[in-house]
Structure 1
Amino acid sequence: MNQLREFLGILKHSFRNLLPIIVVVAFFQFVIMRQVPDDLLPITFGLLVVVVGVALFLQGLEMGIFPIGKNLSNDFAKKGSLSLLMIFGFCLGFSAVVAEPALIAVASQAEQISEGRIHGLTLRLLVAVSVGLVVALGVVRIILGHSLHWYMIIGYIVVVTVTFFAPEEIVGLAYDSGGVTTNIVTVPLIAALGIGLAVSLRGRNALTHGFGLVGLAVMVPMILVQLYGILVYSFGEPGTVDAGAAMLDPAIEEAVSPTAGSILLGMVTDLLVMFRDVLPIIAVVLFFQYLVIRKPIAHIHKVMGGFVLVIVGLYAFVVGLKLGLFPIGQSMAAQLIGLDKVFFIYLFAFCIGFATTMAEPALIAIGMKAEEAGKGRLNGNLIRLLVALGVAIGITIGVHRIITGDSIHYYIMGGYTLVILLTWLAPKYIVALAYDLGGVTTSEVTVPLVTALGIGLATHIEGRNVLIDGFGLIAFASIFPIVTVMLYAIFVELVARTRGVQT
């Protein structure tokens, strides 16, 4: 009975989180466009499915992923083996990314854009290995107690430098490939590992040391993919590419693809595919739990039930998005351009960026963990508002770049130069969390909608190249939440100092 009451509370919370998206879409559809959308009933049903999916996902996190991440960290800390922890971190990072559907799609798109110079599988393995190495490095950082800001300052100086030399065709996709490494399942699991490890070690702070693994996992693939792009564009030869290999616009995929003519069989097949995507992570967890730590999982029925809820909830969530939001998002991009009023395009970009971020399940989960780790210093809802504001600003700037046709190089280099400066100035307790928050904005809600918006604008604006101008919005959605969170922390510290001087 208590679990049912808890689930109903989460369901209510999920609906409240989705409400901003409903308000934005309804406002633009009825007030600006003055049109009743086609298929209103499927759209409404899709939104309800999204609410249920998010609720199931959050319930599953609390039952399965968070406890097992924390318990594994505790057990590894008790063993005291740095090499074991690093191997576990590498395996977890690699398995979390190698089967990621969004990365597979980005790799296919990179192969298409480069005319075969870039090999899709090579790119996927490069990103997966880099994330594995980064998580292993992040584990060492927590154990040694290093502050994250030096890692990030040096890392993003490298990012900006490499971007200056990278070919135009690969920059947007390189940043997008960094964004898609942080999905709705892996973010909470990696965060739980970091926080659990920091809590287990004497002298480590959950907020300062526990966060940062997600931020590192976003940064390093950006560097390696651009280096790979420089290499293949300098020495590689164009090859033959299957035209069907290009990334499909998520807005035109079917919500449920029938299998052998059966919708029900199609749903089961899609669920099994989703389970397959999560299977490498489950395999790594079980291997280390039973063969390395040699200790049974406590309350295994509850943990496995949590994983099942996560998968079912994620599936319902994706189906609901395809039914409810993707079609209307794509059509509204075309309608807004048809109005011939640029202001409304900027306004829609800002509003949809804010609304989708507020509904992001991974951000909700990290916000809750940050509030716990902060012990009164941080408010989860305020964090989400700051991140949503950053995404809204970032996407608006990214849309402006598509409209004007400017090169992405200078925008990205300028954005990360600002991030480096703020990392130097910001209080140390906020740095790791700020970078992790930049990573969680590029998950299952934001990525498809933002990608659809970018492709829609580049398709309908004359003189734009869809394969170059249509991508890169995800990078802007990652940069500016870091900026807004750090600026807020700097402001709060300045106010505290001023009050201290006055008293």
Structure 2
Amino acid sequence: MLGDIKDTVFEIVQAVLPVTIVVIILQFSLISMPMDVFLHFLAGTVMVTIGLILFMLGIKIGLLPLGETVGAEIPKWGSAVIVIAIAFILGFAVTVAEPDVRILADQVEFVSQGDISKSILIFMVALGVGIFVGLAMLRIILGIPLAYLLGAGYVFVLLLSFIVPSNFVPIAFDAGGVTTGPLTVPFILALGIGVASVLGGKSTLGDSFGLIGLASIGPVIAVMLLGVILQ
């Protein structure tokens, strides 16, 4: 436990410190921000560092073991429908809680002046992730090559991009990006590892990964379909 804390603190400080140093150098050489703004930046940096340390410890202690445990247990129930249904529910729920998704939804609602509702956008993004996480579980169960699903998904995205309103296309692709956030990614990966580890005859390494790439297609399609509905 102490070793995990030490490693996590080192990783976060190592990630945050270079940006902080660059900003400090720029402050006293080129930018010269107002001192209150600069002090707010330093205070925010400390808060971010502490928050990331606690967040990463929470991921390692709670979220990753939970995802692997759930993923390892649900295939034992012997029903592919249950596996897919639970994967859908978990994918939907973890996306609703994803901070990156909420930030995107806030910004879209603000820029669109309320025309695109924050709650509807979060729902559609979460729905897209849930469906494609369920599809990823089906891929593991049936041994479907990942390239087939990725190819079909992106062909569908390309076709949709020609018929949806132009302002929804960039929002849709950003929606796919924000689902690869710090909460969704570790949980989905852990879930996939757990499922793949108990399915006889399957390659754990090959089946456990690629889920994030597949799941990120779902929000793109869902937001594009939202654009078609709202146009």
TM-score by length of 1: 0.42
Deviation, 1:34, is 5.0
SS of match in other structure, 1:69: helix
| 1:6 partner SS | helix
Q: Report the number of matched residues.
A: 230
* In 1: Cα distance, 2:84 partner to 2:113 partner: 37
Cα offsets for 1:426-446 (capped at 9, x unmatched)? xxxxxxxxxxxxxxxxxxxxx
Equivalent residue for 1:192, pick from 190, 193, 203: 190
Deviations 1:129-183 (A, max 9, x none): 2221111111111112222111111211222222233322222222222223333
RMSD after superposition: 2.6
Matches within 5 A, 1:217-228: 217-228=215-226
For 2:121 and 2:163, how far apart are their aligned partners in 1? 19
Change (3 A) 1:131 1:36: closer
Tell me: CA distance 1:129–1:6, structure 2 relative to 1, closer, same or farther (3 Å). Answer: closer
The residue aligned with 1:156 is 154
Alpha-carbon shift at residue 116 of structure 1 (Å): 6.2
| Cα contact 2:8–2:57 (8 A) shared by 1 | yes
Map 1:71-82 → 2, pairs under 5 A: 71-82=69-80
Question: What secondary structure sits across from 1:224 in the alignment?
Answer: helix
Structure number with greater Rg is 1
Using CA pairs below 8 Å that are at least 6 residues apart, which structure has the higher relative contact order?
Answer: 2
Q: Structure 1 counterpart of 2:44, which letter?
A: G
Whole-angstrom distance in 1 between the partners of 2:74 and 2:211? 17
Q: Which residue of 35, 40, 44 corresponds with 1:38?
A: 35
Q: Deviations over 1:88-132 (max 9, x none)?
A: 101101112235455455445545666766454443333222221
- Aligned counterparts of 1:112 and 1:36: Cα–Cα separation in 2: 27
Q: Give me the whole-angstrom Cα distance separating, in 1, the residues matched to 2:98 and 2:69.
A: 25
Match of residue 132 from structure 1:
130
Structure 1 residue 45, shift from structure 2 partner:
3.3
1:11-410 correspondence to structure 2 within 5 Å = 11-31=9-29, 33-35=30-32, 38-39=35-36, 40-100=38-98, 102-104=100-102, 106-107=104-105, 109-110=107-108, 118-233=116-231
Q: Mind listing any 5+ residue stretches in structure 2 that lack a counterpart?
A: none
Structure 1: gaps spanning 5 or more residues: 234-503
Tell me if structure 1 keeps the 8 A contact 2:75–2:199.
yes
Q: Is the 8 A contact 2:98 2:183 kept in 1?
A: no
C-alpha distance in structure 2 between counterparts of 1:105 and 1:51, whole Å: 19
- Cα separation, partners in 2 of 1:64 and 1:158, compared to 1, 3 Å: same
- Output one character per residue of 1:66-101: Cα deviation in whole Å (capped at 9) or x when no partner: 112111122123222211111110110111223545
AA partner of residue 133 (structure 1): I
Q: Answer whether contact 2:196 2:208 (CA < 8 A) is retained.
A: yes
**Hey, which bits of structure 1, 4+ residues long, moved more than 6 A?**
none
Deviation at 1:187, TM superposition (A): 1.6
Answer yes or no: is the 8 Å Cα contact 1:90–1:135 preserved in 2. Answer: yes
Pair 1:9–1:131, CA change in 2 (3 A): closer
Secondary structure class of the residue paired with 1:165: coil
Q: SS at 1:168's partner residue? A: coil
Q: Normalising by structure 2, report the TM-score.
A: 0.84
Aligned residue identity for 2:10: K
